Structure formats: C-alpha cells, structure tokens
Amino acid sequence: MMYQIKDLQLSLPDMTRKPLLGAAPRIEILRGLTFDVPQGAVLGIVGGSGSGKSTLGRAMLRLLEPTGGSITFNGQDITHLAEDDLRPMRAQMQMIFQDPMSSLNPRRRVGGIIAGPLHVQGHEGIGAKVLEALDMVGLPRSFANRYPHELSGGQRQRVGIARAIALRPEFILADEIVSGLDVSSQAQVLNLLQELVRELGLTLAFISHDMSVIRRLCDRTLVLYRGEIVEQGPTAALFANPQAAYTRDLLDAIPLPDPDQVWA
Ligand SMILES: Nc1ncnc2c1ncn2[C@@H]1O[C@H](COP(=O)(O)OP(=O)(O)O)[C@@H](O)[C@H]1O
Ligand SMILES: [Mg+2]
C-alpha cells in the first residue's frame, strides 16, 4: 500500500481571529479522514474551493504536520517524522502545482528548474537526467536553456511534470494542475500524465474540482466537503450511483453535456 491514512486531523491557528495576547483559536481544516492509496492507483480528490484538498495534499507529502491520526507511506509511519528523516522519503513523493508560473522560479532556466530536486537529493549525472526528463514530457532538449516566461502555459506545466518525475518518484501529487489551461492544453497535459503513470508505474493523487477530469483519469475517487470525506469508492460506481447529496451537486455542475468529447 502506498498510503494508509487513518483518522487524519489537521488544525491551524486562525490568524484572522488572534487576540492581542495569547494564542489564536485553531480552525479544524481536516476532520478525521481515513483512506488508502494502493500502489499504482490513480486517486481523485475532489471537492469545492476551501474543502481542504490542498491541505490534505500537503499533509500527505508531510509539508504540513497532522494534529491527529496517522499517515503511513510505503509501510512507514511518517505522521510526525522530522525533516531529516523525511528527506530520503521526499525523493519518492513529488508534487506538481496548480500554477506553474508561480511555482517555477522565473529567474532560472528550465534546465536548472528541473535539476533542483536532483541537486537536493545529491544525484550524479544531473545534466543527462534533465534531458531525459524533457524527452519524457515531450519538450525539445533545447528548452533546457529557456526561461519559464518564454513558454506557453501547457509547456510550463510540462516543465512542472518533468521536475516532478526527474527523481523517478513512486508517488506524485498533482494539485489542480490543468485549472489554468485552455481545453486543448488541458487534454494534452492530462494525456501525458496518464501515459507517464502507465509507463513509470506511478501512484498518483489527482486533486481537482472538475468531475469530468476525475472521471477520465482516476480509478478511485474521494469527495471532500468542509474537511470531511463525504463519499469514496471506485470512480465508475461513484459516477453511476452517487451516495452523498454533495457528490450529486458536483456531478450536476459538470459544464459539458458530454465530457468525453473534449478528449477525442
Ligand atoms: N495557513 C492557513 N491558515 C488558516 N487557514 C487556512 C490555511 N490554509 C488553508 N486554510 C483554510 O483551510 C480551508 C481549506 O483550504 P484548502 O486546503 O486550500 O482548500 P482547497 O484546496 O480545497 O480549496 C479553507 O477554509 C482555507 O481558508
Ligand atoms: Mg487548493
């Protein structure tokens, strides 16, 4: 099992309500989430804005420390591991962000950006690994010398993917990675991701508010509402027979009459 997550709770201080003296009251952002992510699975995490999707993703990568429950990654309890002990695991868990324009350093060339995690992990032969990563995401090798602002939105997101797979991680978390793209770039980026998942045997958690994308990509889906899981199960079953009222609302909000057409 890639992830076993039990009764995960996460609260943060609410700085908007901090009194002049003393601690800020805490707001509960994740409330008792329990789910597994099998090796090789593509898990969809869906929910409206503010439902806790990004917070859950950051907790899974241990960029945030849970306040309750446990997270087991590859059989190891990482719930409260210190950064030094997390570092070897960080090579196995990578993230692709929503907005590549703000997540890619504008002053670094693409090659340097992709090389970043390889340096952190002390790899050798980094130049060759960077070029290989560019090959894998279908960008010309010459792009290593370009700056992010010289690329289109879809190309920038490919750079984000190249950076994430350069380390050959076992697990990737993608947080709303196609939200800012036009429909045809969306389809290309998602096709690429799907291909990489297959070829590299990746386990993927795919955060989205878009049910049509979830249906296309994910084996299993988990529906978040106000920091709680209101429904989870195989994607096909969830679409065919949604149990929670909130899931039905999300399905009703699918903007296209036939989402499959977008992918043709
Ligand atoms: N650092 C923080 N401090 C306080 N509240 C936060 C913080 N980060 C997120 N939140 C709140 O937690 C909730 C979930 O946020 P988030 O995980 O970003 O949701 P989503 O990704 O589903 O839109 C929101 O209500 C948000 O305002
Ligand atoms: Mg988010």
Q: Is 128 left (phi over 0), alpha (psi -120 to 50) or beta?
A: alpha
Q: Summarize pLDDT for 163-177 with one digit per residue, the tens.
A: 999 999 999 999 999
Per DSSP, 170 falls in state S
Adjacency order of strands within the sheet including 68-73: 26-37, 3-13, 68-73, 76-77
Q: Which atom of ligand 1 is nearest to the CA of 48?
A: 22
Q: Summarize pLDDT for 44-82 with one digit per residue, the tens.
A: 999 999 999 999 999 999 999 999 999 999 999 999 999
Q: Which atom of ligand 1 is nearest to the CA of 207?
A: 21
Which sequence spans correspond to the domains of the chain?
3-15+24-252
Are the CB atoms for 217 and 193 separated by under 8 Å?
yes
Q: Summarize pLDDT for 226-261 with one digit per residue, the tens.
A: 999 999 999 999 999 999 999 998 888 876 555 555
- Please tell me the distance between residue 194's alpha carbon and the centre of ligand 2 in angstroms: 21
Q: Which atom of ligand 1 is nearest to the CA of 47?
A: 22
Rounded to 5 degrees, what are φ and ψ at 175? -105, 100
Please report the pLDDT score of residue 256 as a whole number. Answer: 57
Domain 3-15+24-252, CATH among 2.140.10.30, 3.40.50.12280, 3.40.50.920, 3.40.50.300: 3.40.50.300
**What residue's CA is closest to ligand 1, atom 27?**
50
- Please tell me the distance between residue 142's alpha carbon and the centre of ligand 1 in angstroms: 39
Please report the pLDDT score of residue 264 as a whole number. Answer: 43
CA atoms within 13 A on the CB side of 221: 30
Please report the pLDDT score of residue 260 as a whole number. Answer: 57
- Please tell me the distance between residue 76's alpha carbon and the centre of ligand 1 in angstroms: 27
Are the CB atoms for 228 and 31 separated by under 8 Å?
yes
Q: What angle (nearest 5°) sits at the alpha carbon of residue 216, between those of residues 34 and 179?
A: 85
- Please tell me the distance between residue 224's alpha carbon and the centre of ligand 1 in angstroms: 13
Number of H helices, E strands in the chain: 10, 10
Name the residue of 11, 18, 29 whose CB sits within 8 Å of the most ligand 1 atoms, as the mutation to test its pocket.
29
**What residue's CA is closest to ligand 1, atom 24?**
50
- Please tell me the distance between residue 209's alpha carbon and the centre of ligand 1 in angstroms: 15
Q: In terms of pTM, does the model score above 0.75?
A: yes
Q: Summarize pLDDT for 187-212 with one digit per residue, the tens.
A: 999 999 999 999 999 999 999 988 98
Please report the pLDDT score of residue 74 as a whole number. Answer: 95
Q: Please report, for residues 25, 96, 113, 167, 168, the alpha-carbon distance to residue 212 in angstroms, rounded to integers and kept in the order given.
A: 38, 20, 31, 30, 28
